[in-house]
Structure 1
Amino acid sequence: MECEICGKPVPEHNPIRAKIEGSVMVVCKECSKLGKIQKAPPKPRYVQQKNKQQKNTKKKTYSRRDEPSEELIEDFSNEVRKARESKNWSREDLGRKINERVSVITRIETGKMTPDNKLTKKLEKTLNIKLLEEVNNVDLNQFINSSSGERTLGNVMKIKRK
């Protein structure tokens, strides 16, 4: 087993799980200092037997096709504010045109709120701007560290910097 951040070996019999930036990861001792160490999940006391009359519920599996092909640009808040100001509209005017509250417009322009896809499309159409950009599907396999053979956060960070 390897550390999900740096790729160093982690003992399989006693892995360290740490919550770092909201994600629980298996990490080495050095990387565990970056977050809060988590307790091992409790073992279930009993196993519930399935009822034969229970409905078959299919679990949704995600493939690469389900991944979003567009993502919000980094400085969307400035773009929205500039476009609104170039049309000489107040926040109230923009809110009325897209049927949203002024507080929503204010939070978007200050960067305190990230608009969902529906609201982003409304802003793009009304302000004649482009807020969504195509995501490049990078093949992560070509960037795998040859010595470890697995993907780690460190490898992904190297990809992002390129």
Structure 2
Amino acid sequence: MQCDVCGREITGKPHRVIIEGAKMVTCEECSKLGSEYWEPKPVMRPLETSTRKLTKLSSSVKVVSTPVKRASSSTIDVSGKLEVVEGFGLIVKRARERMGLTPEDLGKKIGEKESVIKKVESERIVPDIRLASKLEHALKIKILRESTMLEDEKFSLGAKFNREITLGEIVQLKDSKRGKRGNEGDNSLS
């Protein structure tokens, strides 16, 4: 057996210590680096008699399956036509305080970290559709709305074709601006 710290062969009894939260098997010299001894959990191996008992029990046990309720498609719009309303942070904060919840309590309730809740309330981050719908459900508020076409057109170069701008188009746009600037004053770049 080798020491998990130094890699030398362990002579004598191996020491089981915790070093910086990691359980390690070490030699006597390296065991001084850690603290708290731990004991390995005994491995339980099934016996033949216990298996027979299980088969007898399993024949008398009735398994009832209940159908799993799927999330309805009405709560989350997959087409991307939903957006978060302006002032969502204040709406979330007021609703949370009205219910008497701390950011930590709300985070536990919806399965998010307290820091995420605080960032949403201060509007340092904009919640995605999934998080916004969880907040709506937990706080009984409305912070999602359907996207208006005018706002979509404002951010889309390809509005005529009903699509969003791509990264390639941004690169082409920047390259064309660079080319124009280079041709205006100095022709050596072309």
Q: Could you say whether these structures have the same fold, taking a TM-score greater than 0.5 normalized by the shorter chain as the test?
A: no
Q: Please, what TM-score do these two structures have when normalized by structure 2?
A: 0.37
Tell which has more relative contact order, 1 or 2 (C-alpha 8 A, sep 6+).
1
